[in-house]
Amino acid sequence: MSSIIQLLPDHVANQIAAGEVVQRPASVVKELLENAVDAKATDIKLIIKDAGKSLVQVIDNGVGMSVTDSRLCFERHATSKIRHAEDLFSLHTKGFRGEALASIAAIAHVEMKTKQDQEELGTHIIIEGSKLISQEPAVLPKGTSFAVKNLFFNIPARRNFLKSETVEQRHIVDEFQRVAMAHPNIHFAMYHNGSEMFNLPISNFRQRIVNIFSGKTNEKLVPVNEETEIVILDGFIGKPEFSKKNRGEQFFFVNNRFIKSGYLHHAVMSAYEGLLKDGAQPSYFLCLDVPPHTIDINIHPTKTEIKFDDEHALYAILRSAIKHSLGQFNVAPVLDFDRDPNLDTPYQYQNKEAEYPTIAVNSDFNPFSTEPSRGSFSSSSQYRKQELKPNWESLYVGLKQAGQELAEITFENDAVTSSLFEEADIDQEVKRTYQIHKKYIVSPIKSGMVIINQKRAHERVLYEEFLTNMTVKQASSQQLLFPLELYFSSSEIHLITELKLSLENLGFIFDTINDNSIIVSGLPVTISESRASIVLDDLLTDLQDGIPDSSFSQNDMIAKSMSKSLAIKTGTYLTEREQENLVHNLFACKEPNVSPFQKPTFITMSVEDLDKKFAL
């Protein structure tokens, strides 16, 4: 019987590896940025076209590569980071497997230009699908330029699995932010379709966070510092009042490498226990510096998951350090029964200088004198009274005549008009709706009764109202006396820009949209000024997986998100008129049976059903 096991050809093996390493354009961005960091670059540029599907290019001013290295870097398991197996447990660099460039070259058109500082000429290499097309010397600046074009050109099935440009771009931005945040000592810039998205100068860690997530982030941050034998913890956490519903601003860095850890995330959440609303997520940007031999990075191809030797100790240190910072900066409430709150300095007097009291002495004051002195306060008041005494009768001159005239004036009585709803009718009218546990509305019908879920019913009413406004484009808007300035991250600003037309059809009026803020001068009539920021935050959270391409799907998603945010919540008391209004509006909808999320809005119970219950 012939052998059936064969060695795979190199190009097939590279494509298999690419399935693990290169899942989407963002994976290419991650690998190329980390290579640039390992090359000791101080200036890194990322250029993207069509969300990475057409072009991903990274330009750095690092050490570059020689002619031999520039060709060897595309071979499988060729790396400059590993010499022995023991080196896997003392890693100080990003990449070490030697799979990334070989995998990328197997599924894309790759063009690399590199030059070392001491060399006169550099190397220009073009590879398509693991095949070397050309390699020639060229006049180049110091560093490396790596361009990846037409990703998955030879694997159309993988290309079809890519999401929309909005989703793929969001993943690229996430990877860019992770690498840029871990290295504030490097200048990073990102360009998408010719427009600049980020320009992050060399700075400290706090300033890098602020540059990425808008200027208002600075006031949200609380520093965390702890140094032990196991770990050196440094970074920032967000104040509880600035928590969000999504987990977009949560970062762990271990030895300058971004990681994901549900275990450490649980430690952070336990430190915030009692300070967050249900479903709220705090922001944190935490750097853990641990000895390299105590972690294992080589457990996942993307290297975002690592294994710690002593996870329990890390959990306890992280939890206690965050609790200490929250208490130290008066973010968490402190119980001190011996403290007298009356001794606290009021806010308006904290920075005010003390005023020294002055003493005024009246040298003319004589307590034994029968004539009151004009110098003292009491005597001065007596003097004024005495001086005015002879003229007091003049105050009443002419009062009698004026009184007689006033007596002759007659005032017309206001006619008492009947109220809009006669009280007698209200008393005699049978109550048509009842609210149970501030959650359900019960309304009698001919065959029995209807039990309505007030939250779902209101969602359906608002959903159809918003969808109609966006379709017909006749939404009314309320002008604000003072425009609102709302702050968002650059990626959120990009989403709002794409949704601008649909939001304006709903009734929003945007004056300006800047790099990290928007100015709103008008709101839909159903949204109060205090809830504008919450509604937009919820909308961006719901759209974090991407905006649908078709306009109807886009409008549908916006209407669903806003109806969920603005619907009356369970536990809200409704007056009888509000209950009746909600019931009438629900049954005036096109599809009153289900909420926008396909859940029933009401159930009916007939008299026969009730009779069966009592027959048991």
- The domain that contains 526 carries what CATH number? 3.30.1370.100
pLDDT in tens, 447-457: 888 999 999 99
Q: Are both 73 and 221 inside the same structural domain?
A: no
Q: Are both 173 and 220 inside the same structural domain?
A: no
Helix pair angle (311-328, 262-271), 10° resolution: 30
Q: Are both 232 and 322 inside the same structural domain?
A: yes
pLDDT-derived band at 113 (thresholds 50, 70, 90) equals: very high
Alpha carbon separation from 473 to 64, 470, 547, 548 (Å, rounded): 56, 5, 20, 20
Any domain includes 288: yes
Separate counts of helices (H) and strands (E) for the chain: 18, 22
Task: For residues 187 and 183, give the distance between their C-alpha atoms in angstroms, rounded to a whole number.
Answer: 9
Task: For residues 108 and 27, give the distance between their C-alpha atoms in angstroms, rounded to a whole number.
Answer: 13
Find out whether 145 and 124 touch, Cβ atoms under 8 Å.
no
What predicted TM-score, i.e. pTM, was given to this entire model?
0.70
Q: Are both 196 and 217 inside the same structural domain?
A: no
Q: Are both 567 and 471 inside the same structural domain?
A: yes
Q: Give residue 215's Cα distance to chain centre.
A: 14
Domain holding 593, by residue range, is 434-603
What is the three-class DSSP state of 521? strand
Task: For residues 465 and 459, give the distance between their C-alpha atoms in angstroms, rounded to a whole number.
Answer: 10
pLDDT in tens, 377-435: 444 444 444 444 556 566 666 655 555 554 555 555 555 554 444 444 444 445 678 88
CA angle, residues 454, 457, 462, in degrees to nearest 5 = 120
Find out whether 517 and 486 touch, Cβ atoms under 8 Å.
yes
Strand partners of residue 513: 518
Any domain includes 30: yes
Domain boundary among 138, 171, 200: 200
Sheet-wide strand order for 509-513: 477-487, 517-524, 509-513
Q: Are both 56 and 149 inside the same structural domain?
A: yes
Domain boundary among 275, 310, 328: 328
Average pLDDT, the chain: 80
Q: Are both 520 and 587 inside the same structural domain?
A: yes
Listing DSSP states for 425-446 in one string gives: HHHHSPP--EEETTTEEEEEET
Task: For residues 267 and 345, give the distance between their C-alpha atoms in angstroms, rounded to a whole number.
Answer: 36
Picking from 40, 231, 177, 205, the residue whose alpha carbon sits closest to that of residue 492 is 177
Q: Write down the pLDDT at residue 479.
A: 87
- The domain that contains 191 carries what CATH number? 3.30.565.10
Listing DSSP states for 204-269 in one string gives: -HHHHHHHHS-GGGGGGEEEEEEE-SS-EEEEEEE-GGG-BSS-TTEEEEETTEEE--HHHHHHHH
Provide the domain count of the chain. Answer: 3
Q: Are both 442 and 462 inside the same structural domain?
A: yes
Task: For residues 143 and 141, give the distance between their C-alpha atoms in angstroms, rounded to a whole number.
Answer: 6
Domain boundary among 328, 348, 378: 328
Q: Write down the pLDDT at residue 380.
A: 44
pLDDT in tens, 540-596: 887 766 666 566 677 888 888 889 888 998 888 888 888 889 999 999 999 899 999
Parallel, antiparallel or unpaired: strands 448-453 and 187-192: unpaired
pLDDT in tens, 292-331: 888 777 656 666 777 788 888 889 999 999 998 888 776 6
Torsion of CA 302, 303, 304, 308, to 10 degrees: 150
Q: Are both 512 and 458 inside the same structural domain?
A: yes
Any domain includes 376: no
Task: For residues 34 and 95, give the distance between their C-alpha atoms in angstroms, rounded to a whole number.
Answer: 7
